[in-house]
Amino acid sequence: MTRKAAPVTPPVVCTVAGSDSGGGAGVQADLKTVEAGGGFGTSVVTSVTAQNTTGVESTHVLPVEEVDAQATAVFEDFDVAAVKTGMLATAPVVELVAERVAGLDCPAVVDPVMVAASGDRLLEPAAEDAYEELVAGSTLVTPNVDEAEVLTGREVTDPESATAAGEDLVGMGADAALVKGGHLGGEDVVDVLVTADTVETLRHARVDTTATHGSGCTLSSAIATRLAHGDDLPAAVRSGVDLLARAVRYNVDVGGGPGAVHHAVALRDRAARQPTAERVEWVLRDLIERDVSPLVPEVGMNVAGATPYAETAGECAAVEGRVTRTLDGVASPRGVRFGASTHVAGALLAAREADADLRFAANCRYDDAIATALSDLEGAVVEYDREDHADGDGREDGAAPVAIRRGVEAAVTGADRSPVAAVGTGGAREPLVTLFAPGAGALVDRVTTLLDAV
């Protein structure tokens, strides 16, 4: 029989930007990010580039009439909920887009693509001057520090001067400015969001990678998509910044160059939640059937599984209430849920700093027999003292998850192989060992090795 259609109506986002044949930046990055964020992406292409992960071979700027025709086609047919702009190439195109944005009744995110990563100017002075009108009509302008300097004439060298530049941009008419700190030095990337009434600092640990191609496009598109969904501006910016931090860490290793940011990283991670929980449940059933009671510590055993791109304990599935010893073996009365563990999940997340392929973990008691059995496992066995990472009074109580995560992270930093186990000693609590594995089956095998030893 003929089935009835069940259409959906996602918010429409329009990107006005150049094309990147390598797929990492420009219109291609924008459309991937919009789709991954639950929007429907439309585009107005301003220029066509021949480029890949190693560089740009050539650029062809479209006539302003063709750019205008695309904009007309999109805005006449679609109920556009947000617009974002990227590479606009020439003064006439910047002026056209500024005029179009002024006539729209939806948020506009302006990514002022003006300075290359090398520091070279990408626009002629006339085009730079034309940006003032576009900035004035924007909901949010997202310059990096070099672009903020071009737009404001102010030197930007730290978060304080970034804040001043953001205030200048708001003074030019923008509702808000996000001055990105990726080009500034330091262990953390510090972005500054400035509105007429507030200043908010957004901080993320810097990722040691050169695979940042498309980062500005991805960020501005992610923010525009959240605005199209109806988020308020600060929430949309926080969401976009968080997504970009993850997209840079779990970048896509393609091509002969550094690669590109992972535009769909959050979507892929959400899709992995149910399979991850199912694998943790499988491990739990297997360990109960094997009766691992000789390995269960006084505090109970837990099993955790991280999604492929997990960054927080809330993105790790774990046993609710832990595995405990009974008269007949072991039991877990409450099942599996995300965010159920902070201790084992924290240790797993710390181990993933050394090897992001690690996905599963379980904690066991620790004694001499288990210490000997650990030597049979392939991988690094690291040790840490929980007292060294406890709170200021030397206590673990109330700060145990933090102490464990910090301890494991410090211990795995010097490991010459992927960590297979972390032994935690010190403090008032019993010594424990946390086992790590890339797969659920491998974790069961490693637990079994310890079980056979005791």
Digit-coded pLDDT (tens) for 122-175? 677 788 888 999 999 999 999 999 999 999 999 999 999 999 999 999 999 999
Point out which residues pair with 324 in neighbouring strands: 331
Contacts of 78 (CB under 8 A, 6+ apart): 12, 14, 42
> Which tokens go with 245?
């931090």
Q: What percent of the chain has pLDDT over 90?
A: 80
- Give dist(CA 118, CA 113) in Å, integer: 13
For 391, the token pair is: 């709170």
Q: Which domains does the chain possess?
A: 12-270 (3.40.1190.20), 272-453 (3.40.225.10)
- pLDDT at position 334, please? 84
Do residues 277 and 305 touch, judged by C-beta distance below 8 A? Answer: yes
pLDDT, tens only, 411-425: 898 788 999 999 998
List of residues 6+ apart from 120 with CB closer than 8 A:
none
Which of these, 138, 139, 134, lies nearest to 96 by C-alpha position?
134
pTM (global) more than 0.75: yes
- Average confidence (pLDDT) over 194-214: 94
The answer to whether 389 and 347 have CB atoms below 8 angstroms apart is: no
Burial of 371 (0-12, 13-18, 19+ CB in 10 A): middle
CA-to-CA separations, 327 to 111, 253, 299, in angstroms, rounded: 64, 51, 17
Give the phi and the psi of residue 135 in degrees, each rounded to 5.
-60, -40
The pair of three-digit structure tokens given for residue 393, joined into one six-digit string: 């009074």
Neighbours of 271 (CB within 10 A): 12
Beta bridge partners of residue 55, listed in sequence order: 52
CA 137-41-108 angle, 5° bins: 10
Which residue has better confidence, 119 or 317?
317
Helices 125-136, 91-102: axis angle to 10 degrees equals: 10
